[in-house]
A = this chain, B = another copy of it.
Amino acid sequence: MSPKITTELLKQLRQVMKNPRYVQEPVQAYIVPSGDAHQSEYIAPCDCRRAFISGFDGSAGTAIVTEQHAAMWTDGRYFLQAAHQMDSNWTLMKMGLKDTPTQEDWLVSVLPEGSKVGVDPFIIPADQWKRMSKALRSAGHDLVPVKENLINTIWTDCPQRPCKPLITLDLSYTGVSWRDKIVALRSKMAERKVMWFVVTALDEVAWLFNLRGSDVEYNPVFFAYAVIGMNTIRLFIDGDRMMDPAVREHLQLDSTLEPEFKIQVMPYGSILSELQAVGASLSPKEKVWLSDKASYALTEAIPKAYRYLTPYTPICIAKAVKNAAETEGMRRAHIKDAVALCELFNWLEKEVPKGTVTEIVAADKAEEFRSQQKDFVELSFATISSTGPNGAIIHYKPVPETNRTLSVNEIYLLDSGAQYKDGTTDVTRTMHFGTPSAYEKECFTYVLKGHIAVSAAIFPNGTKGHLLDSFARSALWDCGLDYLHGTGHGVGSFLNVHEGPCGISYKTFADEPLEAGMIVSDEPGYYEDGSFGIRIENVVLVIPAETKYNFKNRGSLTFEPLTLVPIQTKMIDVNLLTEKECNWVNEYHQKCREVVGAELERQGRHEALGWLLRETEPLARVQ
C-alpha cells in the first residue's frame, strides 16, 4: 500500500480556502470530517472527501488542513493503516494517546491570531460544531460555515450520489408495521411535548418505514430524511424510487388513509428549506426534536429556543431493542452465516498448506459461501482478511499491494459479516493452520478469557455497557497486555453493523443501559505491530439471567451468543483457563454442534459438518 501523493491537492485546497468565489473571507484552516450529511459511519463514494484529500480511507478520521499543516485524527484501529496510506504532507494524530492534542487544542497552537476555521455545515454534527466553535472562540478564532464544500470544488471526478431501488420488509421480518412505529414515535413526542421530529440518520429512516436500500455499500440504507409531525409525515427522497409499485403499496401512497398517516414525498434536496419553513412557523412552546448529532445546517434551521436535542433519538433507542421477529431473524441469519464459515474454514484447512490462498482469495471465498445462503443481500462491511503482520492492522482490508498468502506458519484473522434479509452478522475468528507458538496460544487464551468474561457476565438491569469493558481486558492487563479499541458495538437487524445507543467500551460515551433484546458484539483482541493480530468476536443478545438472589427486585441480564462458529481449540492453552471458562467453551461448542450441525446436515454439507465436529471436540483441563 503506497501513500497517496497529496501535494498538488493540498495546494489546490489551500487556494480555494482563500478564493472569494467559495468563501466570504479566507479561512486559515478547513476541517474535513469523515461523515456525510447524515453523520453516517459508512459513506457513499461521493462522500469520501476525507479519503480523497488524504488517501486515508478508514471508517473514522478527521482531516484538518491549514496553510502550513495537514493533520489527521484517527483512533487505535487505524494508526497503522493511516500511517501507510498518507504521504509526508500529513501528520497523524493518534487519538486516545496521552500526548495527542485535541483538534481544538492543535488548531489553537498552530493558527495565527484571529483565524477563521471553515467547515461544511451539512457535514459537521451540531454537537461537534458547538464544542469546536466554543473552544476556538475562547482562543480568539472563529468557526465558520462554508456552504460550498471545498473538497467538492477540487474533486473533478467526484462520483454521483447513488439512488438505487428500495426493498420493502413485511411484518415477518420487522415485527412492527411502519404505522405502528409512527404511532409509538408520536407517543414519545407527546411525552416530551415536542411537535416535530426530524429523522436525519439513514438507518433511522430505513427502520421507521420498514424499507431498505443499497445507496451505501454494506449498509442497507438509502439517502432520505423524514420530518414527522403529530399529524403529518414528510419523506425527503430522490429519484423514481417512489414509483415502484411495491414501495407505493408498502407505504400505502395510493390508499385512502387517515391524514396523519398520509406520507408526503418531497425531494431530498428540499429538506433545508422545508425545515426552515417549519422553524419559521412555530408557535411558542412548539419544540422540534433533533439528534444532537444532526448536521449543524439542519439544526440551525430551527431557532434555538425551539430545539429539543438529545444524544439518542427515540427511534435509535426503539431500534436497538429487537422484537421477537427481529431476534428470530438474527438467529436464522447467524446460523446461515456459521454454515458459510464452516465451509470456508474447512476449505482453508485443505487449501492453505498448498500456498495458493491469499487474503483476497480467502475473503472472496467467504463471500462466495455466504452468497449461497438464503436471503443473502451483501456483506455487512469490508472483510478483514489478514495474516501475519497484517493482522495487527486492526481494520485492515486486503488490497493487491498488501495481499499476503496464508501459510501454516502465521496466524490468520478473519473479521467478516453479511446482510441477510433476516439479519446482520459480524464475526471474527483467529485461526492457525499449522502449529501455533506457545506465545501465540498464550495471547489467544488471554483474549478468549476476556471474551468469555463479557459473554458470561451477569449484571443488573440498567447497567451500561461501558461498565463491562474492563472484564474483557482483565486477563490481558494481568500480564501487561491490552488492545486499543472498544470491546463491542450495537448491531442492527438487517441494518448497520454498527449502531447506537449501546456498546461496550472504555470510552465513556453516553451509552444507554443494556436491555433484554439489545444486540452487541463482544470482541476483545490483542495485536503486536509487525507480528500478528488476534480477535475473537461473537454477536451476542442481551437476555434475562436467572440468579440465586434478586437485589431490590431489579432483575439481572446476561448474554446469549448468536454467533455459532467454533473457536479454534488448537489456539487455546487450556491450562490458562479456569474450570468455568473451560466449561463455557465446551458448552458453546456443543451448541454449535447441535444448531449449526443440524443446518449443515439439512443443507447436505457433510464435509463442513465433519470439520465442525472435529473443531468442537470438548477441551479437557489438566488438573
Mark A residues whose CB is within 8 Å of B: 98, 138, 140, 285, 305, 308, 457-460, 462, 466-471, 473-474, 476-482, 506, 508, 547-552, 554, 556, 578
Q: Are B477 and A459 in contact (CB under 8 A)?
A: yes
Separation in Å of the A174 CB from the closest CB of chain B?
28
How many copies the complex holds: the figure is 2
Q: Are A479 and B548 in contact (CB under 8 A)?
A: yes
Given contacts A138-B308, A476-B551, A480-B550, 12 further A-B contacts (CB under 8 A): A457-B474, A458-B478, A459-B473, A460-B480, A468-B470, A470-B471, A471-B474, A477-B556, A478-B547, A479-B548, A480-B549, A578-B578
Name A508's contact: one of B482, B508, B556 (CB within 8 Å): B508
Complex CA distance for A276 and B67, rounded to whole angstroms: 40
Complex CA distance for A40 and B192, rounded to whole angstroms: 35
Query: Which residues of chain B have C-beta atoms less than 8 A from A466's C-beta?
Result: 508
Q: Are A477 and B457 in contact (CB under 8 A)?
A: yes
Q: What are 9 A-to-B residue pairs whose CB atoms are below 8 Å?
A: A138-B305, A457-B474, A459-B473, A460-B482, A466-B508, A467-B469, A470-B471, A480-B551, A508-B508
Query: Which residues of chain B have C-beta atoms less than 8 A from A478's C-beta?
Result: 458, 547
Name A470's contact: one of B138, B467, B480, B578 (CB within 8 Å): B467
Q: Are B480 and A556 in contact (CB under 8 A)?
A: yes
Most central of A140, A285, A460 by chain B CB within 10 Å: A460
Q: Are B458 and A477 in contact (CB under 8 A)?
A: yes
Q: Are A548 and B480 in contact (CB under 8 A)?
A: yes
Separation in Å of the A102 CB from the closest CB of chain B?
14
Closest to A549 in B: B480
Complex CA distance for A459 and B471, rounded to whole angstroms: 12
Most central of A305, A474, A477, A482 by chain B CB within 10 Å: A477
Most central of A480, A550, A554 by chain B CB within 10 Å: A480
Q: Are B462 and A98 in contact (CB under 8 A)?
A: yes
Q: Are B477 and A460 in contact (CB under 8 A)?
A: yes
Complex CA distance for A552 and B477, rounded to whole angstroms: 12
Query: Which residues of chain B have C-beta atoms less than 8 A from A552's C-beta?
Result: 482
Q: Are A482 and B551 in contact (CB under 8 A)?
A: yes
Closest to A553 in B: B480
Query: Which residues of chain B have C-beta atoms less than 8 A from A508's C-beta?
Result: 466, 508
Complex CA distance for A305 and B138, rounded to whole angstroms: 7
Query: Which residues of chain B have C-beta atoms less than 8 A from A474's C-beta?
Result: 457, 471
Separation in Å of the A537 CB from the closest CB of chain B?
20
Q: Are B457 and A547 in contact (CB under 8 A)?
A: no
Complex CA distance for A550 and B473, rounded to whole angstroms: 14
Most central of A285, A305, A459 by chain B CB within 10 Å: A459
Query: Which residues of chain B have C-beta atoms less than 8 A from A459's C-beta?
Result: 470, 473, 477
Separation in Å of the A8 CB from the closest CB of chain B?
36
Complex CA distance for A556 and B475, rounded to whole angstroms: 13
Closest to A306 in B: B138
Q: Are A481 and B285 in contact (CB under 8 A)?
A: no
Complex CA distance for A468 and B477, rounded to whole angstroms: 12
Complex CA distance for A476 and B458, rounded to whole angstroms: 9
Name A285's contact: one of B140, B470, B473 (CB within 8 Å): B140
Separation in Å of the A261 CB from the closest CB of chain B?
31
Most central of A98, A550, A551, A554 by chain B CB within 10 Å: A551
Separation in Å of the A390 CB from the closest CB of chain B?
19
Complex CA distance for A335 and B577, rounded to whole angstroms: 39
Complex CA distance for A460 and B308, rounded to whole angstroms: 40
Complex CA distance for A468 and B471, rounded to whole angstroms: 9
Query: Which residues of chain B have C-beta atoms less than 8 A from A554's C-beta?
Result: 482
Complex CA distance for A285 and B113, rounded to whole angstroms: 11
Closest to A527 in B: B551
Query: Which residues of chain B have C-beta atoms less than 8 A from A457's C-beta?
Result: 474, 477
Complex CA distance for A556 and B457, rounded to whole angstroms: 25
Separation in Å of the A64 CB from the closest CB of chain B?
21
